Amino acid sequence: MNVWERLRKPARPHTNERRAFDLHADLPPLRVVIDPLVPLTPDIESYFDLLRRADVSILILRRRAQHQLLASGDYSVVTPEETPIDNGWGGVIEKHENGAVRRAIPFAQKNTESAFNWAKRYGLDPVAARARELDAQAAISLDADLYVTDNEFALHRKMMRSACTVSDALAVIGLHQRLRSRVLVGPEDAQFITKWMAERVQVTAMLPHVDAQFNDVADRPAGDRALSMLRAMLVRLERALAARDRLLVTSLHPDGLIGFEAPDELVERAVVALQGVLDAVARALNAQLTTPVPEAEASFSRKSFRAQLPFQTRKLVEDPDNRAIREIISVLRNTIHNEPFGRAAHEKDGEVERLATVEGEPGAKFRALAARLMTTDRWTLFETNSAIPDLGLGVVLRPIPLVDELIVRCAALSDALIASAPWAMPLLPDAEKTGWGSGPSFIRSVQRGYGLDNAVLAR
């Protein structure tokens, strides 16, 4: 018995078992302060109320009048005018289960006037900034991890790190829940689901035409190769989403995080999964051809294979933008055969962004393809001298926007390719969809937790 076998935990451990590698993270509650003036749709308002009631790992803090502090998470603000003895300081009273606690808002009056002057300097509405500054200062005193607001001045200030829009806050809440593998969906049909369930719902929402191919699965032969390839495609896109989650978390820590890979490793994991998605689509299409080519030759990069595809499918595959996406994924994936990703970091105003680098010929190819898609400013930070001068310049990649857009674009292309196939089953109307996770509210709740906006990112 080797050391790893000795340290492996039994299914039912005794109380005296060693715990050297028990690395379960005990995440602190996420404190979310909601600006009383931020507009919320009824659906999102109901979801925040549901979080407050059902998820103890997320504390939703709402402002009330002092006589309305009834539930844990309610808070009220004491203005400087109400307590002139405090010399311009304010206060915030937070209700807990066993009582209430008062926190100070230092220099509230001075900061309120300062907000007017700074907003005017930034070209923002100074009157609105002054009127809403006390709520922003209260969020700081409440130790808010997230301050959900549409206050332009608060969102513009670099020192107000907790300020975020409603959609960004829901994405952070979703990530926090997936790290604990307890994702609360609702408000309709409210229930907790696990991380892999959330990944499956998100994937089927991004690939509606692929999901439609499973509607008549009972009428398809058990060994249907196209169907098995579509299942493989779903799994690989789930793995890309899992790599994105880990990338989001590790990117928050300038020195890395125990148990999480570096950003360059996670970019590589994501693009390998996305290459698998495209390969699975090609093999699914190949399985339905009258004279399919050998599976090893079923690749969109092969002209002989593309020539056998139906016209509409071939048109999508050879579209210049779609071709650039396929080639970027291929270039990044093929770094496992050439020079690997490098690591870099960029510090600005005390913030550290963890980066990945691609050197040599792959870097030059990536730079040209990103320029064709007009995404250079979003995906790269700056160019770097290559370690191999003969091959020109490499590039420094910004992992999060790169992976986000590649996932969305790859999913959109894959779904369009399946929809274009003559044998593809049509989409079912929402009213005819049945089964677990098919409700529109259920799907929207999971999608908000990922924050991948197809309408913004997809081109």
Token match 């969102």: residue?
155
Q: How far apart are the first and last CA of the chain?
A: 55
Q: 118-139 burial string, b = 16+ CB within 10 Å, else e?
A: bbeeeebbbebbbebbbbbbbb
- Confirm if 260 and 250 have CB atoms less than 8 A apart: yes
User: Does 14 score more than 60 pLDDT?
Assistant: no
pLDDT in tens, 283-304: 999 988 888 888 888 888 899 8
pLDDT category at 25 given cuts 50, 70, 90 is low
- Tokens linked to 340: 């690997």
Q: Answer yes or no: are the C-beta atoms of 105 and 134 closer than 8 Å.
A: yes
Half-sphere exposure of 88 (CA within 13 A, CB side): 8
- According to the model, what pLDDT value does residue 390 have? 41
Place of tokens 């308002």: 45
Q: Is residue 187 reached through a cis peptide bond, with omega within 30 degrees of 0 on the bond before it?
A: yes
Q: What is the pLDDT of residue 13?
A: 57
Which percentage of the chain shows pLDDT scores above 70? 84
Q: What is the mean pLDDT of residues 17-37?
A: 76
Q: CA-CA distances (angstroms) from residue 38 to 166, 201, 363, 391, 448? A: 8, 29, 44, 52, 18
Poorest-pLDDT segment among 239-253, 255-269, 335-349, 376-390: 376-390
CA angle 254, 56, 73 (to 5 degrees): 95
Best-predicted range by mean pLDDT (89-93, 237-241, 381-385): 237-241
CA 236, CA 278: separation in Å to the nearest integer? Answer: 10
In Å, how far are 123, 154, 156, 285 from 118, measured between CA atoms?
9, 11, 10, 58
**Cα four-point dihedral sign 303, 308, 313, 315:** positive
Residues 83-114 pLDDT 10s: 777 788 888 998 888 888 889 989 888 999 99
Tell me what pLDDT residue 17 has: 56
Sorting pLDDT into bands at 50, 70 and 90, what band is 171? very high
Considering Cα of 27, then 33, then 38, then 40, what sign does the dihedral take? Answer: positive
Report the percentage of the chain scoring pLDDT > 90. Answer: 42
pLDDT at 340: 74
Looking at 94-103, 170-179, 322-331, 402-411, which range is the least confident one?
Answer: 94-103
Average pLDDT, the chain: 84
DSSP string, 246-289: HHHHHTT-TT--TT---HHHHHHHHHHHHHHHHHHHHHHHHHTS
For residue 117, the SS3 value is helix
Q: Identify the pLDDT of residue 237.
A: 96
